[in-house]
Amino acid sequence: MHQRMFVFLFLVGCSGGGSDKPAVDASTADAFESACGKPGDMGNELGIGKFCATLSDCSNPMAPLCSVLGSKDTHFCTKTCKSTDPAGVCGTSAECTCNANNQCGCTPSACLGN
């Protein structure tokens, strides 16, 4: 599961930025499928895990990426990290997870099924 969750981070880096997708109204939660990230999710002290539908929803410089840009079935703000970063780099209730190519990003612990 870790590999699938973080492939999106490197697609974001190649995507060129924003999305033409309209913002999702939190009152229409059933309008999209989400494996991780639901309307109303506030995220941790860094903003990791805050609900987002587009990149512009992640205005916090500590969590500037929206996972939906690379994985249309996730909706949370995140940031890149390194496998060598110290514990806690992603803040409370989030983990730096990496795929087989050592591409890493912060994911809410609740999304990892731990």
- The domain in which residue 79 lies consists of 2-13+33-112
Is the pTM here over 0.85, yes or no?
A: no
**Overall number of domains in the chain:** 1
CA distances from 62 to 73, 77, 99, 114 (A): 22, 9, 21, 24
**Cβ–Cβ under 8 Å, residues 65 and 12:** yes
Residue 66 lies in a domain: yes
Say what the pLDDT of residue 15 is.
34
User: In the chain, what's the furthest Cα-to-Cα distance?
Assistant: 40
Determine the Cα–Cα distance for residues 84 and 39; give it in Å rounded to an integer: 32
Residue 68 lies in a domain: yes
Per-chain mean pLDDT for the chain: 77
Name every residue whose Cβ is closer than 8 Å to that of residue 34 and which is 6 or more positions away in sequence: 73, 74, 75
Say what the pLDDT of residue 57 is.
95
